[in-house]
């Protein structure tokens, strides 16, 4: 695995973690709480397991990174945004529709809003990673 892949995935993972904290933990937290059913013992505590949130961000970032590289359309922010959006849209749709189908946990307002927000978030993640992949000397 070359350095650009590692650096761009790391940049995407860091954005997933910090951007996710800001977008989902601060900006939209009340919306998510209002549209999610809660049950005794559902949430782990006041603070989730942060290492696992970061770990999931690494895998999300690597998947988008893989698609951006394989697409072979360059490493502009716009190209990364496009492919990051598609990858995160598909992942969010898969997870949200599956959770909605199996569990009485969230309403459809949250399902569709989360898919939209995750897609935009993934676009930004992909854009950042594409810029990192395209930076510096060409390998």
pLDDT digits over 16-56, tens only? 999 999 999 999 999 999 999 988 888 887 788 999 999 99
* Closest among 8, 24, 28 to 80, alpha carbons compared: 8
Is 55 within the bounds of a domain?
Answer: yes
Q: From CA 80, how far away is CA 131, in angstroms rounded? A: 8
Task: Give the model's pLDDT for residue 7.
Answer: 96
Is 41 within the bounds of a domain?
Answer: no
Q: Print the domain residue range for 56.
A: 3-36+46-134
Which phi-psi region, left, alpha or beta, contains residue 2 (left: φ > 0; alpha: ψ -120 to 50)?
beta
Q: From CA 50, how far away is CA 12, in angstroms rounded? A: 16
Is 70 within the bounds of a domain?
Answer: yes
Task: Give the model's pLDDT for residue 44.
Answer: 80
Burial class (CB in 10 A: 0-12, 13-18, 19+), 71: middle
> Tens digit of pLDDT for each residue in 51-79?
999 999 999 999 999 999 999 899 999 99
Is 72 within the bounds of a domain?
Answer: yes
Is 111 within the bounds of a domain?
Answer: yes
* Over residues 7-17, mean pLDDT: 97
Is 139 within the bounds of a domain?
Answer: no
Give the predicted TM-score (pTM) of the model. 0.90
Mean pLDDT of the chain: 94
Is 90 within the bounds of a domain?
Answer: yes
* Closest among 5, 2, 139 to 68, alpha carbons compared: 5
Task: Give the model's pLDDT for residue 46.
Answer: 78
Q: With bands split at pLDDT 50, 70 and 90, how would you rate the model's confidence at 137?
A: low
Is 96 within the bounds of a domain?
Answer: yes
Q: In total, how many domains does the chain have? A: 1
């Amino acid at each position: 695995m070359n350095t650009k892949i590692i650096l761009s995935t790391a940049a995407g993972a860091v954005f997933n973690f910090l951007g996710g904290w800001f977008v989902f933990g601060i900006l939209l937290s009340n919306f998510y709480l209002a549209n999610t059913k809660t049950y005794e013992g559902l949430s782990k505590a006041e603070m989730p397991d942060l290492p696992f949130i970061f770990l999931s961000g690494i895998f999300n970032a690597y998947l988008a990174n893989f698609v951006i590289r394989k697409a072979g359309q360059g490493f502009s922010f716009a190209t990364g945004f496009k492919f990051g959006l598609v990858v995160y849209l598909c992942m969010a749709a898969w997870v949200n529709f599956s959770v909605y189908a199996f569990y009485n946990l969230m309403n459809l307002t949250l399902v569709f809003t989360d898919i939209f927000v995750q897609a935009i978030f993934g676009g930004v993640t992909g854009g950042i990673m594409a810029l990192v992949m395209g930076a510096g000397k060409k390998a």
